[in-house]
Amino acid sequence: MFEVEGWVVLLLFGVVAYALSKKADKPGSQVSQKKNFKKQLSERIYFMPEQRKFNLSDYGQHMVDAGKSYSDKLAKDGSFKNGWKDLTMTEREAYLLSHFDIIQQFLNTVNEHFIIELSDETMGMLNAFSDSPYTAVVLQIYRGKENIGQIEIEPEIFDDYPTATVRCRLKYAEMFNYETVYSLFYKVASIHLDQDDPQTAHNLYLQITKYLTHNLWDRLNSTAEADYDGLDWHKFEPLEMEFKGQFKKYQDYRSAVLDKEANLDLFKYEAEGIQNLMDHFGMEEVKRK
């Protein structure tokens, strides 16, 4: 008989135990882990987002120079509509990036489930058709202590007028109810609402519904195929959407805050709004470590 030494058995046992523990780290891989992950996402807590001033210099000195250059051109031109056509591609990019300096305050609050926070990241990654990172304003989405998504705003510099594409990714979307998920994506999409064109609201509703239906069908398809080959390829795939437009509602918000309410402490206003909402729903603020 071939005898296996004790240390070999112990080694194999250790390898198997390690593999099982790594598998358990993945949400949904075990019943107990499912419950734990659900508990993490359902904790009635929130972080107050970091409030940092948008800094164009994060994108490089060339962008700062372009920002000054377009400001000088627009000041002389007196008409932004005509001035846009005279801007270089870099000047257009600088204008669009700096224009989203208070996008965090516009997005907060979505509802009691999500906190949005501007990051110092300057490159986007959510464009499925891009082979490399691209310049973008990047924000993170938090649910309690968990970072569960990302929002990107990519300047569209080749259009005949200021345009931006907004992308949003939400991980573990199936762990939230329909209204919660819909409200997040509608808030992001509302950047492009136009009060002078009521049809934009309907169009955004149709667009979001189409994305949700597509995601739901893929989920059903994945579950059905898993009955045969055991591979549920769509389980816990992130839900992603993108919306392109002239960000009219955000522009109106920005003008109202910066022009009509110049003395408003925007950071304080945002924090008070978040706290009032969270207090209403019985959420407890926790400090980051």
Q: What are the per-10-residue average pLDDT scores of the chain (289 residues)?
A: 49 46 44 67 92 94 94 73 83 96 95 95 88 94 94 95 96 91 97 92 94 85 74 77 96 86 84 96 90
pLDDT at 1: 45
Looking at residue 272, what is its pLDDT?
95
Range of the domain at 197: 45-285
Q: What are residue 151's DSSP bridge partners? A: 139, 168
Which residues, including other chains, have CB under 8 Å from residue 141's CB and lie 6 or more apart? Answer: 114, 115, 116, 147, 148, 149, 150, 151, 168, 170, 184
Look up the pTM and report it: 0.83
Q: What is the pLDDT of residue 128?
A: 78
Residue 32 maps to a domain: no
- State residue 18's pLDDT score: 46
Answer whether residue 280 is part of any domain. Answer: yes
Residue 11 lies in a domain: no
Q: How many domains does the chain have?
A: 1
- Report pLDDT for 257: 87
**Cis peptide leading into 109, omega within 30 of 0?**
yes
Confidence at residue 5, expressed as pLDDT on a 0 to 100 scale: 58
Whole-number pLDDT of residue 81 = 62
pLDDT of residue 107: 97
Has residue 10 been placed in a domain? Answer: no
